[in-house]
Amino acid sequence: MKEVLVKEAYRIAKERYAKVGIDTDKAIEALENIHLSLHCWQADDVTGFENPDGQLSGGIQATGNYPGKARNMEELRADILKAASLIPGTHRLNLHATYGDFGGKFVDRDKIEPKHFKSWIDWGKEHNMKLDFNSTSFSHPKSGMLSLANPDKSIRDFWIEHTKRCRAIAEEMGKAQSDPCIMNLWIHDGSKDQTVNRLYYRELLTDSLNQIFEQPYQNMKDCIEAKLFGIGAESYTVGSYDYYLGYGVKHQKIVTLDTGHFHLTESIADKISCLLLFTPEIMLHVSRPVRWDSDHVTIMNDDTLDLCKEIVRCKALNRVHIGLDYFDASINRIGAYVVGSRATQKCLLQALLEPIEILRKYEAEGKLFERLALLEEDKNLPWNAVYDMFCLKNNVAVGEDFIAEVEKYEAEVTSKR
């Protein structure tokens, strides 16, 4: 993209936004301070390094067999760095427990230790990427339909032990990066058909969580992720939204909102202000459900825009952690990373550029036509010139130029795998 054009368009946009009281330089600065948590699992379809031939279980599915998926840690790291080089700003990396550096040996989930993540910590430091973490209860012989809510004590204890160890690993990560590691806990527990024991499994999960969270930590934060249903677990999910909302409020834990984990007409944006009032912080898994929790690549649609606007309108950027969670195996995986991350940033930027003071003044004065009119005109303001400037400032390909870069990496690297 011609630099002079980007600069000229930005000059005009800056003036246009000034008319509605918005400083575009400040919006760029604010966007630079938002660090997305990039999900490591987009590069290899949630395979991990524990058992590269293992099947993905737990009611989630990566569909497609586009060539070039990362087959080992070196490839995964290279792909993540490539993707990050096309996403303006500095970002975090969200690791699952199955992505440890196990040195070619099988290390069972109840045996993982901080040492298995030492090379990730070093790598993160080297590349200016702070780490977040996730326990992994799926894709394992003991996963079944129930993990932390399993009536079989030995299985439940196995997963409790795993999750406790994950918290200890997250604590080490947080300490090493002098910034809390956000640890997400999602389990697939549920049942395909009707159960007559809804309360019982939830009691078991509560007991497991209480044991897991017994140990306090300073350098990690706990998140609990709710879900509506999974494939093969359509009739009942132990960790439903009502369940985790209750647990989160009672025990002051962070509730993770995955945008694919609700009824499709439910507004995730509307949940932000509620959680902010009753839970300490919020974790997001930004995704795109198409007809179900399909984990399509995030795009700049109304759902993502509404969500970002709510965060900014609530002045809650310092209390909301923004992670991505989608896995599309049917297109170039690095491209998918970049499209979803840039789309999220574009939504955040539009939120930061909203003439909120004028809108709120209209609302306070009962000028409802004016409020509606400005909301509509806001959609027409040249936010895209501001995003282009943001890319230019961060030395990242502007606009569609990144497509050629992804293609080049495909030709030179991923197509040879």
Q: Which residues bind ligand RNT (CB under 6 A)?
A: 41, 46, 60, 134, 186, 225, 227, 258, 285, 293, 325
Measured from the CB of residue 393, what is the shortest distance to ligand RNT in angstroms? 32
Q: Is 172 in the site for Zn ion (CB under 5 A)?
A: no
Is there a catalytic annotation at residue 122?
A: no
* DSSP codes joined into one string, 386-409: HHHHHHHHTT---TTHHHHHHHHH
Is there a catalytic annotation at residue 393?
A: no
**Of Zn ion, ligand RNT, none, which one sits near residue 134, judging by CB under 5 to 8 A according to partner kind?**
ligand RNT
- The residue annotated as part of the active site, out of 91, 96, 261, 271, is 261
**Of Zn ion, ligand RNT, none, which one sits near residue 320, judging by CB under 5 to 8 A according to partner kind?**
none
Our CB check for Zn ion shows the closer of 307 and 397 to be 307
Among 171, 189, 258, 310, binds Zn ion (CB under 5 A): 258
Task: Draw the binding track, 377-416, toward Zn ion (x: CB under 5 A; -: no contact).
Answer: ----------------------------------------
Measured between alpha carbons, how far is 207 from 100 in angstroms, rounded to an integer?
A: 28
Using CB atoms within 10 A of its CB, is residue 168 exposed (0-12), middle (13-18) or buried (19+)?
middle
Is there a catalytic annotation at residue 157?
A: no
Q: How many C-alpha atoms does 195 have within 13 Å on its Cβ side?
A: 18
Which long-range contacts does 160-164 make (Cβ < 8 Å, 24+ apart)?
160/208, 160/211, 160/212, 161/110, 162/97, 162/109, 162/110, 162/112, 162/135, 162/136, 162/137, 163/135, 163/137, 163/208, 163/212, 164/211, 164/212, 164/215
Our CB check for ligand RNT shows the closer of 225 and 328 to be 225
Is there a catalytic annotation at residue 293?
A: yes
Our CB check for Zn ion shows the closer of 69 and 285 to be 285
Our CB check for ligand RNT shows the closer of 42 and 414 to be 42
Measured between alpha carbons, how far is 26 from 31 in angstroms, rounded to an integer?
A: 9
Q: What is the DSSP letter of 93?
A: E
**Of ligand RNT, Zn ion, none, which one sits near residue 414, judging by CB under 5 to 8 A according to partner kind?**
none
- The residue annotated as part of the active site, out of 132, 295, 303, 410, is 295
Our CB check for Zn ion shows the closer of 46 and 392 to be 46
Q: What angle do CA 31, 342, 322 make, to 5 degrees?
A: 60
Q: How far apart, in Å, are the Cα atoms of 335 and each of 32, 68, 200, 223? A: 21, 12, 44, 28
Q: Would you name the residues annotated as active-site residues?
A: 186, 225, 227, 258, 261, 285, 293, 295, 325
